[in-house]
Amino acid sequence: MSPPVKFRIGLCGLGTVGQGVWKHFAAKRAELESRLGVKLEIARVAVRDRRKRRGVNIPADRICGDAIAVATDPNLDIICELIGGTTLARDVTLAALACGKVVVSANKALICAHGAEIFETARRHGGHFLFEASVAGGIPLIKALREGLVANRFPLIYGILNGTCNYILTKMEEQDAPYTAVLGEAKRLGYAEADESLDVQGWDTAHKAAVLTFLAHGTWVKPEQMIVEGIDRITPEDFKNAAALGYGIKLLAVIARDFTTGELSVRVHPTLLPESHVVAKVSGVFNAVSVQGDVAGTTLYIGRGAGQDATASAVISDLVDAVGLLKNDRRAFITARKGSAPARPERACRLAPPEHIRGRYYLRLTVRDEPGVLAQIATAMADQQVSIASVIQRAQEPAGEASLVLTTHQSDERAIRATLARLARLRCLLGKPLLLRIGDFSE
């Protein structure tokens, strides 16, 4: 009997996720080899600083400082890109794909910025790009869209895609604590980066939404083409107001497609969800994604969306798929999986204009506490055909100010933007309004 085939892996990047991959790969290696009938080895590791102390022990002869050299090494079969960013990571990915290698990545920002170029390079040179870990961490969401739900079209995908924001919102609600205090706690616990802006302003979620949109609809939507709003202006009072209305607050990505008109909208924003909704109950650093298929109906995916272990699990899953790809007939496998192309052929698809993006809204205003204010606001909203559904009014400090919370009936993004512009001209308004969307999703 001939010895089993050996596959050699190059690991580029040894940060938190890279160390997790090395640790868990080493622990599971014998089991993986037995299951796959092959021999596996992480043969080379590229790092920026070879002298830096790390939490894993790697033989010195496997470490180098040149990621491009690892990417193009003819003795390596699979390249695992865990560098982060969109510069060196792009160069490494394209160099490896140009050599016909399989590349595994957890880099959603890279895919969002250069996905079309990456997939075209893979197609042209016979390479392959796997990216399960780029969205929702340890939840096998990408596999579900590409494989398990391949017979479906997706009118609606929405959910929590950023564990940092979900942790902050959960703690603000539970502790009745202000945003800045909870953010500081999240940083101390390692749930938030030193520069939290990518997470809390919604851009990390937007990158992930772009990846999911590509998989579901075969088209690239850049974050600047989306509605993207963050959580940094939400206060404990908003949670109290939402609870009084029967809602919780979550930062959601929402990808909606009307297959009759061909219009697509991709949004990231804090959303009021009914307290009874499953996604509204998902707390802490967990992610939750609801996928509505026209054949399977609604499926729901919940799990750890980030962190060393969850992301490493997804990366190793892709490494196993990469071995399966290389072990079998390469071209037949690529054709069957469509892994270097969109999950489905691109159909006629255009972005919905603001007036076609409809929903209900929550609007919090700080106003002068004086007669006639509500009438002025109601008139400004009526001028834009925005109808008020409910009102909560509370006096607040300093004296002479009041908090006015309105919810609307069905309206649209064009009308609500025009309403905000109209309200900004009122002398009774003190400060910038807070606008949140209300999620009327059926489970």
Which parts of 19-155 are beta strand (E)? 39-46, 63-64, 78-81, 102-105, 128-130
| Residue tagged active-site, from 101, 108, 171, 208 | 208
Dmax (CA) for the chain in angstroms is 91
- Ramachandran quadrant class, 48 (left: phi over 0; alpha: psi -120 to 50; beta: rest): alpha
- CA-based nearest residue to 364, from 290, 286, 274, 272: 272
Q: How far is CA 417 from CA 315, 335, 386, in A?
A: 41, 46, 11
d(C-alpha 289, C-alpha 251), whole Å: 12
C-alpha torsion angle, residues 78, 83, 88, 89 (rounded to 10): 50
d(C-alpha 99, C-alpha 122), whole Å: 9
d(C-alpha 159, C-alpha 14), whole Å: 30
CB atoms within 10 A of CB 401: 15
Coil, strand, or helix at residue 380?
Answer: helix
The token pair that represents 158 in the structure block: 């929405």
C-alpha torsion angle, residues 424, 428, 432, 437 (rounded to 10): -80
Q: How far is CA 409 from CA 287, 354, 357, 359, 375, in A?
A: 29, 17, 14, 8, 18
Q: Identity (one letter) of the amino acid at 410?
A: Q
Type and span of the H or E element at 16 = helix 16-36
Q: What residues have CB less than 8 Å from 157, skipping those under 6 apart?
A: 212, 216, 253, 254, 255, 289, 290, 291, 292
Measure the N-to-C terminal CA separation of the chain; round to a whole number of Å: 54
- CA-based nearest residue to 305, from 205, 206, 187, 163: 163
Coil, strand, or helix at residue 383?
Answer: helix
Q: Is the dihedral of CA 298, 299, 304, 308 positive or negative?
A: negative
d(C-alpha 139, C-alpha 150), whole Å: 17
Radius of gyration, CA atoms only, the chain = 24
* 208 annotated active-site: yes
Residues with active-site annotation: 208
